[in-house]
A and B are shown apart, each in its own frame.
Chain A
């Protein structure tokens, strides 16, 4: 399927509520595995449903290749049944009165695909998803994970140009989730479909996607590869939303000792008038030294007190405090620290994210800090 392009899309559900989606520009390349990531209510489902045609636009335009599929300004709208897409609902929405086999071949029968071809196709899809043994059962006789796979099979059977998935894994237990993630990756490789995947689980997005679109309050915050999103968050929202435990943020404008120290440290490198609003560094970038002497030169540093050590199985979260302000660090090596111990925390310049007063990433700072390292 050609690329799907959303330009300046607006969606309002009316009734005076704020737009569910605003000014959305999104380019979904052929063969991509894109994740829409964002907190609850940020417009992910709405975006997906607009692509599928189940929701119409208030303004803007969606086209697939050269074909306009939705554009109020041009008076164009292509119905969902003619878009040749697949959508897996969060609720699965299997047809309760049809067997698994009839659920799967429904779309093929609609298209009047010859019997032999239809059966071969259904066989292939059911085999790929490991549901052939349930073919004569009804949806109510399957477990959640099995239903989930039927919902996928039903869409894959018609060989859609793009597969839209709305939080398909959120109802599964942890183990099944892991299995289905692997399954999805395999399907993506095997069927070569474009996949747009909605989730509010950042872990899921990081492991699955070739690109991630982070949304908040109906607006696109950043579009990039998982590494981009994690290592170069475009703004504070993305920085704070992605990562667990969350990124440590220091505000430039307060009088807290730690914030003052950070401002001072930055001013020494960027100059006083750089317009720094806040500074962030991820917990794994926050390193701990027993004495200031052990801190490498050039790193940002501050004295701190260890307040807690939480093992999370294979890694540890270290809680620290500076004058009542909490900081998090993570480490994969067993920390030889005790609660109450006084230590030095430090961060390499390249691991520091700098944001301006509006919360946008200060790109110039990246260069300066990289050179300083």
Chain B
């Protein structure tokens, strides 16, 4: 042992004989002029690269700010809605006939005693949303004791009044070119001045299904549809994808067949999503006769679409687990399945989860395949089951973006914001899960 140490030391320390054997000290090449020049050039190249990188990041950040900024500017007001305060008297006879519109109208007319002609009253009626009577009806249904009493309620205003309150209405246009007549604007201004027209938080946006009237339209139905679709997608693609990846990576022999399968999986990941929609149309709707517009079918199609993404990312994660862990487990007599379940899979979990959530996020934002299976439909009801007709968030956005009403523009942006929020939530979950599952090596 001692001579080993001595030998080692003498091997590392340059012996005087070798470095200055010829008495003329050789100038190190690392200190030559040419080397210094090259070194300078290397440093310059490095600075250039860093600058380019920082510029790229700055550009990306700027784009994001512009994009988000414009969406927020357009959409943030949709979270509020204009409401009108009314002093209603619930006449039992009218309530029994479920005739709520006259009750509201009478209450509104009472606020404008100077208006007596029919035309003037019709102008006033148009200030209210056509959905306002249903609001009142829901209120009474919840609390039947209200019948016969007089009470103050806030009901939704028409969408154009809503835009007017939010300052989005072009008052300077000539009367013939805008939807709101001068009389309506004057009435709304009077209500505003008396405090009977004000903005409140827009719960309809989150709870309601689609509607022709912007002030009654919400993305509640689309959110539930998205969740149901995602549920089906996850329930199918996660277990199937992970088992396929584990089998291919840990058990399957490496031969021509598995190579072929691998190539095909990679190809599938690159297939345009609309093709999956066509497949779903032909197979699930055409052959199996499943219902149109159903989250079940949407989920099946999305599962097919995300499967390759999950398989590929899971395989990458499994590959990254050091083989020494497998050898350690096998070496003490763990069976191959135990090795995978007890050691390899837990270590690969962070990567698998990241891939899975990225796949889910993609499925959540996907529109094209759903157009093929009829999920682009006007659906007023919030779906309650996997076979109910439903639509999903991105499709809802797509449909609203097509609507001419100004109030829908605002709601489109709001829906985009909500979709982005859900995506951020998903990705945040991915980060947190990765932190939880990550272990110190």
Do A and B make up one complex?
Answer: no
* Residues of A in contact with B (beta carbons under 8 Å apart): none
